[in-house]
A = this chain, B = another copy of it.
Amino acid sequence: MDRGALGEGKMLQGSLDSSGPRFTPLVVVELASDTKEEAIAWILSRIRDQQQNGGVHVGVDPLNSKISFDCVFYHSVLLILAFFPGAELLVEQLGPGVGAQEKENPNMFLVGATRQRLLSGAEEVGLFKECNDGSMRGFTCANKHNFKDFEGDGDSFLNMAECQYIIKHELDTLRAKDETHVPGHTQVKLYPGKSIIRRLQSKGILIQIFPLHGQEELKRLSFSWYKKVKLSFQPLDNIRHYYGEGQALYFGFLEYFTFALVPMALIGVPYYLFDWEDYDKYVIFAVFNLVWCTVILELWKRFSASLAYRWGTLSRKKAFEEPRPGFHGTLGFNPVTGRKEPLYPNAKRQLRVYLVSLPFVLLCLYLSLYIMMIYFQMEGWVLSFHDEEPTFWTGILMFIPSIIYAVVIEIMNLIYRYAAEFLTEWENHRLESSYQNHLVLKVLVFNFFNCFASLFYIAFVMQDMVLLRQSLATLLITSQILNQFMEAFLPYWLQRRRNKKMIRKVQKRRTVEEKELPLAEQVRLEADMSTYLGTFDDYLELFLLFGYVSLFSCTYPLAAVLVVLNNVTEVYSDAFKMCRVFKRPFSDPAANIGVWQLAFEAMSVIAIVTNCALIGMSPQVKAYFTESETQLILWTVAIEHMLLAFKFILTFLIPDVPKHIQIKLARLEFESLEALKKKKMLEASDLSKTME
Chain B residues near A133 (CB, 8 Å)? 69-71, 73-74
In this assembly, does A470 line the interface, its C-beta being within 8 Å of a C-beta of chain B?
no
A65 to chain B, nearest CB (A): 19
> Looking across the interface, which residue of chain B has its beta carbon closest to that of A134?
B70
Q: What string of 1s and 0s marks CB contacts (under 8 Å) between A358-390 and chain B?
A: 000000000000000000000000000000000
Q: Mark A130-166, 1 if CB is under 8 A from B, else 0.
A: 0111110100111100100000000000000000000
Nearest chain B CB to A429 CB, angstrom units: 15
In the bound assembly, the distance between CA atoms of A670 and B81 in angstroms comes to 13
- A670-B141 in contact (CB<8A): no
B687 touching A76 by the CB < 8 A rule? no
Whether the Cβ atoms of A123 and B674 lie closer than 8 Å is no
Band of interface residues on A: 35 or more
Give Cα distance in the complex from A641 to B605, angstroms: 11
- A residues 594-645 touching B (CB-CB < 8 Å): 609, 629-630, 633-634, 637, 641
A681 within 8 A of B: yes
Per DSSP, chain A at the interface is helix
B-binding segment of A406-414, A491-499, A661-669: A661-669
Encode contact with B along A310-322: 1 for CB under 8 Å, 0 otherwise.
0000000101100
Q: Using Cβ atoms and an 8 Å threshold, which residues of chain B touch A317?
A: 673
Contact with B along A54-83 (1 / 0, CB 8 A): 000000000000000111111011011001
- Bound Cα distance A633, B681 (Å): 67
Q: In whole angstroms, how far apart are the Cα atoms of A516 and B143 in the complex?
A: 62
Cα distance A320–B137 in the bound complex, in angstroms = 19
A141 nearest CB neighbor, chain B only? B687
Q: Name which residue of chain B comes closest to A56, CB basis.
A: B682
Give me 29 A-to-B residue pairs in the complex whose CB atoms sit less than 8 angstroms apart, sorted by A's number: A70-B133, A70-B134, A71-B132, A71-B146, A73-B133, A73-B137, A73-B671, A74-B133, A76-B675, A77-B670, A77-B671, A80-B677, A120-B684, A120-B688, A123-B684, A124-B680, A124-B684, A140-B680, A319-B673, A320-B670, A320-B673, A320-B674, A335-B663, A335-B667, A336-B663, A336-B666, A337-B667, A346-B659, A633-B633
The answer, yes or no, to whether A52 is at the interface (CB within 8 Å) is: yes
Cβ of A284 under 8 Å from chain B: no
For A673, give the chain B residue with the smallest CB separation.
B320
A246 to chain B, nearest CB (A): 22
Q: Is the CB of A670 within 8 A of B120?
A: no
Cα distance A74–B77 in the bound complex, in angstroms: 33
A678 CB-CB contact with B under 8 Å: yes
Q: A51 at interface (Cβ–Cβ under 8 A)?
A: yes
Q: How far is the CA of A83 from the CA of B140 in the complex (A)?
A: 26
Q: Does A116 contact B (CB under 8 A)?
A: yes
What is the CA–CA distance of A137 and B74 in the complex, to the nearest angstrom?
A: 13
- Contact check, B673 vs A76: say whether CB atoms are below 8 A apart: no
Report chain B residues within 8 Å CB of A77.
670-671, 674
Q: Which of B52, B69, B83, B678 contacts A678 (CB 8 A)?
A: B83
A141 to B679 Cα, complex, angstroms: 13
Is A330's beta carbon under 8 Å from chain B?
no
